[in-house]
Amino acid sequence: MPKALITGVTGQDGAYLAQHLLDRGYEVIGLMRRSASSDVIGERLRWLGVLDHVQLVDGNLVDLSSLIRIMQAHKPDEVYNLAAQSFVAASWQQPLLTGSVTALGAGNILEAVRLMRPEARFYQASSSEMFGLIQEPKQSERTPFYPRSPYGVAKLYAHWMTVNYRESFGLHASSGILFNHESPLRGIEFVTRKVTDGVARIKLGLAQELPLGNLDAKRDWGHARDYVRAMHLMLQQEEADDYVIATGTTTSIRDLCRIAFAHVGLSYEDHVRTDPRFMRPAEVDVLLGDAGKARQRLGWAPEVPLDAMVAEMVDADLARHRARMAR
């Protein structure tokens, strides 16, 4: 039975990846950071029905000793580093924390793997936010980076550290440069989930309007379930490498709103308003990924279309609010 360690296992991607690996016969160990909200920290895993099948262990990316201890005790065959301070907006308010966790945390776990489990295969969750102020209309593995937020800068450090550990120490270390990917498990602070939750509340009469930031920003959105498949495929390759994972289609936040509101028979124009509070200090206007390398070498392709993903998210938020209303 292969053994995988997932950092960030209680997040959206970690939960879907845990489910994916468990379905393939893996033993899954999840790194869990102790916090005041520990009573609800496993909700995503519970929602997918896999909480009781994941072994949660205490540790923290900023504590190298805890990572060394976990590597020594569990000897994972695959290590997936998904943990981060991952909310772009918060990275301007907490830039040093973002650097400590998202950037230096990746360096810590790479060092723990090098010291204690160099034969393990390592995956780093890189981000399309590293492209930032785009240098090419469609971004591939060869596109120069130009991050526009502390989060993007931190992810870039982690990305290049992964490349360096691969080239310097011979680790089987791959990075997935993932474009935006969503699901019903997305955090409420992210714009896609903010939209689908707002649609649900408005449909149920719990709200009348939905304040948002830049409606003209465009993103390449896919489903998290598709993207964790790509993570696993990367670590099954004979040689480690870096891959862009994207749908190759870009959609504005305005059109996202149109799709989500239309799913419940409403017009977004009647409810969405622009609020300056939600504007980024430095906007990333458009992101569009070229996943040709992943298609060719990994045999990967997205399966869930945008409309179906948005409908799934709206329906899940409607069910959540109806359950609360029935209490």
Is 129 designated active site? yes
CA atoms of 148 and 231, how far apart (whole Å): 25
Burial of 39 (0-12, 13-18, 19+ CB in 10 A): exposed
Cα 18 to Cα 28: distance, rounded to the nearest angstrom: 7
Contact call for residues 143 and 131 (beta carbons, < 8 A): yes
Instruction: Identify the active-site residue in 66, 127, 149, 175.
Output: 127
Per residue in 164-203, is it b (16+ CB within 10 Å) or e — as a string? ebbeeeebbbbbbbbbbbbbbbbeeebbbbbbbbbbbbbb
DSSP 1: -
Task: Identify the active-site residue in 78, 129, 182, 312.
Answer: 129
268 included as an active-site residue? no
Instruction: Choose the catalytic residue: 16, 151, 227, 268.
Output: 151
Contact 72, 5 (CB under 8 A): no
Residue spans of beta strands (DSSP E) within the chain = 3-7, 27-32, 54-58, 78-81, 121-127, 172-178, 181-182, 210-212, 218-219, 222-223, 242-245, 251-252, 272-274
Active site residues: 127, 129, 151
